[in-house]
Structure 1
Amino acid sequence: MNSRKMKVLHAIRQGKIGGGETHVLDLVQELNKADFESVVLAFTDGPLITELNKLGIKTHVILTEKPFNISVWKKVKQLMVEERIDLLHAHGTRAQSNTFWGAKKLGIPIIYTVHGWSFHPNQHALVKKMRILSERFLVGKADATICVSANNLAEGKSNFNMDRAVVIKNGINFSKFNADFPFKNLRASFDINEESLIVGYIARITAQKDPFTFIEAVAKVPDDLNIKYLMIGDGDLKAQSVELANQLKVGHKLIFGGFRQDIPELLNIFDVYCLPSLWEGLPIGLLEAMAMRKATISSAVNGTKEVIDDQLNGLLIEPKDAEGLANAIIRLAAEKEFRVELAKQAEIAVKKDYSISKMTLQIEDLYKKIKTDKSL
């Protein structure tokens, strides 16, 4: 490697903070500053950019919400030239589709991280076929593809060539997500007393995260169990979710918290964390809840099944099963010892396999290998 630091451009689809964006935020802080210099490109502005700037990480925003937007490709290439980029690390489909052209023109090696494929079982067959073709194309443009779960890799392999792919599991910052840290108690800010059990959902309120099933489950749990429910997040289904909560008359026990960045403090007051997704790559929010020693209930979709051992370190339910989710909530409310044991085992499992330091070392090794070989 040259004596000059390797300059890495991390491209991410948006400046809002979701799973992939959290991953980038953690990664650029953890990378060895003696060997690597990070620059971040996002395709919308938002809290991620603000946070990175506070940390002294150089950022750029080139506006587009479309994948394969040819009109921004030259701007991206120019940015790579001006910043003297040595390696492109594209996080997600939109980022890869709008950056590969510039990198290829300049002979810059490309790493593509798949935080869950853009194709999934809930799509119309034609849409899914088009997405598979586009992912095959994007993987083909990368010198290496990182899959965040073994399931991601297997799913890719079943559809196209993945010879230049590796699995590097997402990692959690255990200093930030530390169950023993004396966090401020946020219960009072939501007007929730100490006796109430708190069941929470922290995710983008979108079709993937299936907020409707969560709300329908809330409606099926008896009121006399003294449970309060928090839904933290924003998204295109937020207004419909509020409307559904009103229709089902659960407004008295379901609180919508909006987008927040104080996730460890929020998780600290949860007793149970729910993730009723319809599909997942490797759910960072679930790993964060486990690191905070929380009992979890998740839908048994591929990426999640890789993390949760049902009945041992969390509970799994079928996707879209409001009845099953309600029964799981009732069980964890009634069986405190079981809930506490699940939470304990969750923390042990996540600390064993999903540390940010382990993830970062693997990524650093890949950067050096790709820069040297431009191949696996």
Structure 2
Amino acid sequence: MKKIKILHIIKSLGRGGAEMLIPETIKLHDQSRFEFHVIYFLPWKDQMVERILEAGGKVTCLSSSNNIKLLQQYPKVVQYCEENDIDLIHCHLPWAGFLGRLVYSKTKIPSVYTEHNMQDRYHIITKTLNKLTYNSQSLALGVSDDVTKSINTYIKPKIPVKTLLNGVDTKAFQINQKKGMETRNSLGIPGDALVIGNVAVFRFQKRLVEWLQVFKTIEDKNPSVYGIIVGFGPLEEEVKAEVERLSLNEKVFFPGMQTEVKPYFSAMDIFMMSSSFEGLPIALLEAMSMECAIVSTDAGGIKEVIRDEQDGLVCKVDEWQKLSDLCQILIEKPRKLENYKKAARERVVKNFSLRKMVDELEVIYSDFVTK
């Protein structure tokens, strides 16, 4: 039986949520039925390349230094589709989506686009291009009900729009106490300390400066608390300047960009998010799978995952200062902390497994190709 050939198109293969989903889903797909190709454009953001290759995918970089040059690569993508007999294109994030729509207009190869963000949060240029081009594809998938609603509200597309919730490989993401202790030791964190962490790209919507301010309030009351923030990004200097200002140099650690984050999740007790907006963050699902207790704002799809006082503790986006009070509840009540760790994993195993997401994707892929 001829395999169905899927081409993923994405701007970069750094360690963002959308980027990480590609190797994780390829790994679980039925590769006796499907063959996976990936094209990306920023050669310096290639952390996921090796994982994709290990998972059985094929990777090509069409080097582009900016978004305009990325769009100008569309003839090469058309040629790649023809030479490799691609059956379906799956695009991720706006600029790859714009390019994919050019390819669709030229080839009519079925094209699926995964929307990871709310439309009102995009730059005016992105929003305008979305409105102009959104119908030049076969299907849009929102990663949460909020994201799907925003597509229908702001764009009003004529194509189908469905919600396909993000997922996590709950078998792979399981807490490892030994690795967690090794990570603490490597950073100089005492084994019996309580650790509050985050894994994020250092962008404004993550509000990591505010995260540090919340942490400072917590640490003032609990000197034995430590912090870990894994990641990097355009606001790294600003974030680290805030660490200096708050005198947290010896209390909050920055391991930088990490391809393997599970040892860091294993070192955390509480995963705290202060985001102003989100789609449905992969790092949140990973943290839950790794039995981190969740304390977060209710940004975007987070409120679809975390039921307050059942799976974790949440506050309104504009009331982020309350995160310190929520963490304090868990610090003062260790049994409650342990209960929320277990509840987080139970929630993600039952409702947000990557296996469920992959099964739904395979139905979508098959339906379009066999029409």
Q: Which moved more, 1:42-51 or 1:31-40?
A: 42-51
Letter in 1 for 2:166: N
Change (3 A) 1:21 1:222: closer
- Counterpart-to-counterpart distance in 1, 2:229 and 2:37: 33
Who is 2:165 aligned against?
169
CA shift digits 1:84-110 (9 cap, x unpaired) = 211101112121112221233122110
The CA deviation at 1:323 is 2.6
Within the candidate set 255, 258, 278, 2:256 is matched to 258
Instruction: Report matched runs for 1:266-345 at 5 Å.
Output: 266-319=264-317, 321-345=319-343
Give unmatched runs, 5+ long, in structure 1.
none
> Is the Cα contact below 8 Å between 1:67 and 1:93 reproduced in 2?
no
The 8 Å contact of residues 67 and 95 in structure 1, kept in 2 or not, is answered as: no
1:362 to 356, 360, 363: 360
The answer to whether the 8 A contact 2:22-2:52 is kept is no
AA matched with 2:202: I
Deviation of residue 118 (structure 1)?
5.2
Using the TM superposition, give the Cα deviation of residue 239 of structure 1 relative to its aligned residue in structure 2, in angstroms.
0.9
Match of 1:210 in 2: 207
Q: Indicate conservation of the 8 Å contact 2:143/2:279, yes or no.
A: yes
Question: How far off is 1:26 after superposition?
Answer: 0.9
Structure 2: distance between partners of 1:248 and 1:180: 32
Letter in 2 for 1:81: E
The correspondence for 2:130, drawn from 113, 135, 140, is 135
Query: Which residue identity is paired with 1:337?
Result: R
The whole-number CA distance in structure 1 between the counterparts of 2:283 and 2:335 is: 24
| TM-score normalised by L of structure 1 | 0.92
Deviation of residue 367 (structure 1)?
0.7
- Cα distance in 2 for partners of 1:107, 1:181 equals 50
Contact 2:202/2:233 (8 A) holds in 1: yes
1:257 positional shift? 1.4
CA displacement at 1:68 relative to structure 2 = 8.3
Match of 2:193 in 1: 196
Letter paired with 1:217: V
Contact 2:194 2:225 survives alignment (8 Å):
yes
Task: Tell me the SS of whatever aligns to 1:234.
Answer: coil
Letter matched to residue 59 of structure 1: V
Please give the root-mean-square deviation of Cα atoms over the aligned residues, in Å: 1.9
- Contact residue 203 and residue 233 of structure 1 kept, 8 A: yes
* Partner Cα distance (2:320, 2:71) in 1: 42
Residues 176-195 of structure 1: matches in 2 within 5 Å?
176-179=172-175, 183=179, 185=181, 186-195=183-192
Match of 1:100 in 2: 101
Provide the rounded CA distance (Å) in 1 between the counterparts of 2:308 and 2:298: 9
Equivalent-residue separation in structure 2 for 1:181 and 1:138 (angstroms): 48
For residue 247 of structure 1, report the CA deviation from its aligned partner. Answer: 1.1
Contact 2:71 2:98 in 1 (8 A): no
One-letter code aligned to 2:5: K
- The change in CA–CA distance for 1:184 and 1:309 in structure 2 (over 3 A counts) is closer
Are the counterparts in 1 of residues 111 and 137 from structure 2 also a CA contact under 8 Å? yes
Shift in Å, 1:173? 0.5
Q: Is the 8 A contact 1:49 1:59 kept in 2?
A: yes
Tell me if 1:36 matches 2:34: yes
For the residues of structure 1 that align with 2:9 and 2:148, how far apart are their CA atoms?
Answer: 21
What residue identity is the alignment partner of 1:215? L
The 5-angstrom pairing of residues 151-162 of structure 1 reads: 151-162=146-157
In 1: Cα distance, 2:333 partner to 2:33 partner: 50
Shift of 1:139: 2.7
* AA in 2 matched with 1:148: V
Give 1:99's aligned amino acid.
Answer: G
Aligned partner of 1:150 in structure 2 is 145
- Measured against aligned partners, the alpha-carbon deviations of 1:315-346 in whole angstroms (never above 9, x if no partner) come to 11233545312222222211111111112111
Q: Secondary structure at the match of 1:34?
A: coil
Structure 1 residues 135 and 146: CA distance shift in structure 2, 3 A? same
Task: Tell me what 1:60 maps to.
Answer: 60
Deviation at 1:51, TM superposition (A): 2.3
Is the partner of 2:67 in helix, strand or coil? coil
Secondary structure (helix, strand or coil) at the match of 1:302 reads: coil
Q: Give the structure 1 partner of residue 50 of structure 2.
A: 50
**What is the identity percentage for the equivalent residue pairs of Structure 1 and Structure 2?**
24
Indicate conservation of the 8 Å contact 1:96/1:112, yes or no.
Answer: yes
**One-letter amino acid matched to 1:306:** E
TM-score normalised per structure 2: 0.93
> Is the 2:48–2:259 contact (alpha carbons within 8 Å) kept by the matching residues of 1?
no
Matched-pair contact (CA < 8 Å) for 1:18–1:204:
yes
For structure 2, the residue ranges without an aligned partner over 5 or more in a row are none
**What is the 5 A alignment of 1:233-244?**
233-244=231-242
Q: Read off the aligned partner of 1:61 and give its amino acid letter.
A: C
Instruction: Quote the Cα distance in structure 2 between the aligned partners of 1:325 and 1:184.
Output: 24
Question: Residue 114 of structure 1 corresponds to which residue in structure 2?
Answer: 115
Q: 1:41 to 1:240 in 2, by over 3 A?
A: same
Write the mapping of 1:21-32 to structure 2, written as runs, cut at 5 A. Answer: 21-32=19-30
Separation of aligned partners in 2, 1:269 and 1:215 = 18
Aligned equivalents of 1:361, 1:181: Cα separation in 2: 31
Q: Which moved more, 1:37-46 or 1:326-335?
A: 326-335
